[in-house]
Amino acid sequence: MDIGLNHYLVVGAVLFVCGIICMATKRNAIGILMGVELVLNGANINFVAFSRYTALGLDGQIVSLFVIVLAAAEAAVALAIALNFYNNHLTIDVDRGDELAG
Amino acid sequence: MTGEQFLFWLLALTTCGGAIAVVVSQNVVRMAFWLVVALGSVAAIYFLLHADFVGATQLMIYVGGTIVLLIFGVMLTASGPYVKIKTSPGDMVIASGVGVLVLFLLIGTVTAVDWKQAHRSLVGNEHAEYPPAPAAGYNKSNPSSGNTARPIGLKLLGVSLEDTDPTRKDAQNLSAGYLLPFEIVSVHLLVVLIGAGYLARAKRRVPVGADAVVETLAAPVPVQVGVYAGFWRRAAAMLIDGIVISAVQVPAALLMGPLTEPPSNAFVCVSSLLIFLYLAGMESSAYQGTIGKIIMRIAVTDTYGQPVSFLRAAARTLSRYLSGFCLLFGYFMALFTKRKQTLHDLVAGTLVVRRK
Amino acid sequence: MNFDAILEKLINDTVGQSLGHFSSELALCVTIVGLLLVRLVSLDRWLPTYWVALLGAIAAFGLAACQMKQGGATQFLFTGLLVYDQFGIFFRLFLLLFLVLVIALTVISGIPDNEDGPDFYTLLLGATIGMMLMVSANNLLILFLGIEMTSVPSYVMVGFLKGRKLSSEAALKYVIYGAGIAGVMLYGISLMAGMLGTTDMSLIAERMHLLLSPEADGADLSVRSNAMLRTVVLASLLISAGVAFKLSLVPFHFWCPDAFEGAPAEVAGFLSVASKAAAFALLVRFCLALVGKDSGALSEHVYLYLGVGLGVVAAITATFGNLAAYSQTNIKRLLAYSTIAHAGYMLMAVAAMMVLVNSDVADAKLKAAGALEGLIYYLTVYLFMNLGAFAIVAFIRNQILSEEIKDYAGLGWQAPCLGIGMVFCLFSLVGMPPFGGFFAKLMIFKSLVDAGYANPFMWVVLAIGGLNTVFSLIYYLRVLNAMYIVPRPEGSPRVKFDFLPAGAYVVMVTLPVLLTGFFPYFPDRLSDTASRVANMLISNF
């Protein structure tokens, strides 16, 4: 069987779904961020695969480059916030953040 | 099985396996390890897709940067050697059930599409080649070699090489170039840097100008903590130092040959090194200053009023070049900064204060 | 074209055309760098940084106002990445006016002290640049970039009071949900871009037509186009989820109360108006991009379903927001749920527009433009009334150090200016005549009536909207009840407000709420502008 676009899309979908499950089940802020990275990578695989196999062309690769940069920026801010939370609460268990409710 | 097929199945296995392992792991450090495996394999998949530049970026920024950042986060917030994450089995079962459903939905949707036909409808040609030939700017003689750095670089500057193709539809207009996002993302990164820095740094409790906390710490050369040396006093000290240095340098140069000829490289190197040693050595010595500074009754200290180490003095001396390069602006900064610091003072974290 | 011709064209496009129209964003970028330099050379000792930020914002506002005055036809900037039209300019002006007002508020309420000022204003301006990209996005990459540029500084701003537990918790929740949804949205963008072979939003409808039109031959037509249609719909749903998160629509609303309660009131006010307005502009653009210039790219039922779907979400959102607001004891949490409810009302306008735009009702385009006009009018009034409410909350917090409604007891008599301002803002939020909120609601409900002729379900949405309006009166009145009816407890210190500058600010912000209601001149002018902007946008599609 020749390797085609669909094969890559399936890999992307698996990454996406793993990321979603990770975000839904992990209680640790950094664990959730890892899930986000998986989701973004699932989307990026799609972009690069489309860039190879469809009329999207090089634009797909460019978008994936921007995504990598934006993800790095987002991870930096998310970690700064997580550390700040840790300094205030001495935990990064998201469920311990229960002062905001109602 | 061809090489490409073999590689694909291998990489698909490591990517998906890594991703699943991230989900299943109950330990943050292990999760980080499996994430490295998954994202590293994604980089390899990019290479397989002929996206060499994206693959390299993925390796460097994602695997090299983002994941290291995450691991730092793990280390800074870990209270024990292993951070266990308890996921209740019930949650896990429900989430996996929903996840598998979503997965089937996604795969069912995207694989049902006839991509070949879709491509042909989009380009409006029933016999268009599929997969499409790589865009202009690729190495056409050997399309599988990737070689995307040049077209991507040009695209980021706004130029699309496919516009050079005369057979393109809509040949009069430029196709999308990415100059704007390329530039605006730099503003975004600056903002993010400032924001993350804000959250990470501790709030300054001591009000500005009150570094006098350290007054109790004894300094070997008595300096007046908090009484900063003025611009003109420092300029005079520099002038004296200039005279001292040239008093040695000029006769030495005369010994080497007539002054009209440019000095030899060796001479320049040796004298620069000596000047550097003089400045940095004197400032880090017990005198806390060069001869000019001693005469003008001023001394170099760190921000706590303590004498500086040789390393710090060396940093200060080297960053003098920085102050000089920006049209001496770095020196003039002493006129209006909070503690009358020049640029090289700011870089090295030093102060120049009056002696007692 | 050969390379030289491309280069010449590119320089022409960038320098000659685009940069001039991009000047207000550039002004903000320069201000950000300026803020950095001011701190580097320690000028902030003498010159408080808010002056730099305020000057930059005013300069950007002036530039946008010039653009508004010039008018001009729709054109594409930066090789088609941005679209420059009346709609975009209006929202730009809207955002910059709001930015100026928020900076003025922070100066008065003093939430970033002078030490943190440069950081705060850098984040504020950075987020605004992102919003301005959102409102003029013409490319899926810019759409994503704009949302990210808006969100990431917002996460930090929500956690700006970094020593407080509540604040850091709010920021953590916001960043985790936000990052997750951004990833989901990006996946949707990847499917959309791959299916259509382009990231250009103005080509979406055309490409969909090519893919799905019945003329495309092939034996297994229905199966094939079904799969493609499914992919596109899935992609649109995922992208809409990202926009819905920014709009805090049910079921993506959960971050909103938490983030607002933990954030300083100034930041909450900024997010509640600016990021909503930008997201609405983006939603309108995205929906219209799906419809396309020539109707019939897809069967019009698809758009009808889309519109009705938005209507259902809108009705649920408004109802949920109002019901949840009822039991709140914290004023910022209450205002957060009220913000959710208002997002629901405004979404009704977008739903009506989508139902109308391709329907067979007479003057469909004109009526669709009417719905859009209602949205713009509502947003403008909402800017003043919501900012007014949050500003008053901030000023009261500075005095009594509390944001609980029960601590507001008797404040209305002790601080008449803030009390009356709160009455105006809250009554306008309910939609009572003769305040601006009344006309805004009226316009949206009128377009729902129009849309009902295309699909009677919109009348159900209208009824739900009407019921909600009545119901929302109860919880807004609870606040006023606390401020005026409940006496101030014995022994609590007397609160003293100076008229200058806080009172003057409240007057400045609440006056437009009154003007857009009482005097016909202002609503007329505003609705003229709104209808011009709306008609330009609709007629271009």
DSSP state of B227: E
pLDDT tens-digit map of A39-88: 999 999 999 999 988 888 889 999 999 999 999 999 999 999 988 888 88
Q: What confidence score (pLDDT) does residue B207 get? A: 40
> Which chains are adjacent to chain C, needing at least 3 Cβ pairs under 8 Å?
A, B
Distance CA C288, CA C280 (A): 12
User: C residues 146-175 near A, CB within 8 Å?
Assistant: 148, 152, 155-156, 159, 162-166, 168-173, 175
Let me know if residue A101 belongs to a domain: no
**CB nearest to A11's CB, from B16, B39, B181:** B16
What are the beta bridge partners of residue C82? C77, C137
**What's the full length of chain B, in residues?**
356
Residue C142 banded pLDDT, cuts 50, 70, 90 = very high
CB-CB neighbors (< 8 A) of B192 in chain A? 73, 76-77
Stretch A29-38: mean pLDDT? 92
Contact C176 A29 (CB under 8 A): yes
Distance CA B12, CA B45 (A): 8
Contact B110 C3 (CB under 8 A): no
Angle of helix C221-247 relative to helix C276-291, nearest 10 degrees, comes to 170
Rg (CA), chain A: 17
Q: What confidence score (pLDDT) does residue C54 get? A: 95
Domain count along chain A: 1
- The predicted complex's ipTM stands at 0.94
Nearest one of C163, C185, C166 to C174, comparing CA atoms: C166
Stretch C248-259: mean pLDDT? 92
Stretch C304-327: mean pLDDT? 93
Distance CA C440, CA C430 (A): 11
What are the beta bridge partners of residue B298? B354
Residue C52 banded pLDDT, cuts 50, 70, 90 = very high
Contact A43 C186 (CB under 8 A): yes
Q: What confidence score (pLDDT) does residue C303 get? A: 78
Q: What confidence score (pLDDT) does residue B86 get? A: 65
* Contacts of residue C496, Cβ cutoff 8 Å, sequence gap at least 6: C399, C414
Contact between B201 and C38 under an 8 Å Cβ cutoff? The reply is no
What are the beta bridge partners of residue C77? C82
Q: What is the CATH number of the domain that holds A61?
A: 1.10.287.3510
- Locate the chain C residue with the closest alpha carbon to B333: C41
Let me know if residue A102 belongs to a domain: no
User: B residues 112-131 near C, CB within 8 Å?
Assistant: 112-114, 117-119, 121-122, 124
HSE toward the beta carbon, residue C262, CA cutoff 13 A: 32
Res A96 pLDDT > 90: no
Let me know if residue A96 belongs to a domain: no
Give percent above pLDDT 90 in chain C. Answer: 59
| CATH code, residues B3-112 | 1.20.120.1200
Q: What confidence score (pLDDT) does residue B205 get? A: 46
CB-CB neighbors (< 8 A) of C216 in chain B? 121
Q: With an 8 Å Cβ cutoff, is A87 touching chain B? A: no
Contact C193 A63 (CB under 8 A): yes
Distance CA B44, CA C138 (A): 32
Burial of B286 (0-12, 13-18, 19+ CB in 10 A): exposed
Amino acid identity of residue B154, one-letter, is L
Please state the pTM of the whole predicted model: 0.84
Of C413 and C126, which is predicted with more confidence? C126
pLDDT tens-digit map of C95-118: 999 999 999 999 998 888 878 888
Distance CA B85, CA B26 (A): 5
Give percent above pLDDT 70 in chain B. Answer: 85
Distance CA C345, CA C469 (A): 9
Mean pLDDT of residues grouped by 10 in chain B (356 residues)?
90 96 89 92 93 92 82 74 65 90 93 87 81 63 68 88 73 83 95 92 50 39 76 87 85 76 80 87 86 87 83 86 78 81 85 86
Contact C257 A85 (CB under 8 A): no
Amino acid identity of residue B223, one-letter, is V
**CB nearest to A77's CB, from C140, C162, C175:** C175
Nearest one of C182, C204, C184, C202 to C194, comparing CA atoms: C204
Q: How many CB pairs under 8 A join A and B?
A: 227
Least confident of C202-206, C258-262, C471-475: C202-206
Annotate C319-346 with three-state secondary structure: HHHHHHHHCCCEHHHHHHHHHHHHHHHH
The nearest CA of chain B is from the CA of C229 a distance in Å of 9
Amino acid identity of residue C475, one-letter, is Y
Let me know if residue A66 belongs to a domain: yes
The nearest CA of chain C is from the CA of A43 a distance in Å of 5
Q: What confidence score (pLDDT) does residue C384 get? A: 94
Structure tokens at A27: 């209680």
User: B residues 234-263 near C, CB within 8 Å?
Assistant: none
Contact C187 A16 (CB under 8 A): yes
Contact B115 A77 (CB under 8 A): no
The residue behind tokens 């996460």 is: C155
Q: With an 8 Å Cβ cutoff, is B203 touching chain C? A: yes
User: Strand, coil or helix: what is B302?
Assistant: strand
Distance CA B301, CA B219 (A): 9
Q: What confidence score (pLDDT) does residue B212 get? A: 38
Best residue of A81, A84, A99 to probe chain C, by most C CBs closer than 10 Å:
A81
Distances (CA, A) of B148 to A72, B42, B55, C18, C415: 22, 18, 11, 28, 66
Q: With an 8 Å Cβ cutoff, is A38 touching chain B? A: yes
Quote the domain boundaries for residue A22: 9-91
- Locate the chain C residue with the closest alpha carbon to A100: C258
**What's the full length of chain C, in residues?**
541
User: Strand, coil or helix: what is B225?
Assistant: strand
Residues of each domain in chain B carrying CATH 1.20.120.1200: 3-112
Least confident of B21-30, C53-62, C147-156: B21-30
Stretch C332-361: mean pLDDT? 92
Stretch C55-74: mean pLDDT? 91
Distance CA C177, CA A23 (A): 9
Contact B92 A25 (CB under 8 A): yes
DSSP state of B136: B
Residue C170 banded pLDDT, cuts 50, 70, 90 = very high
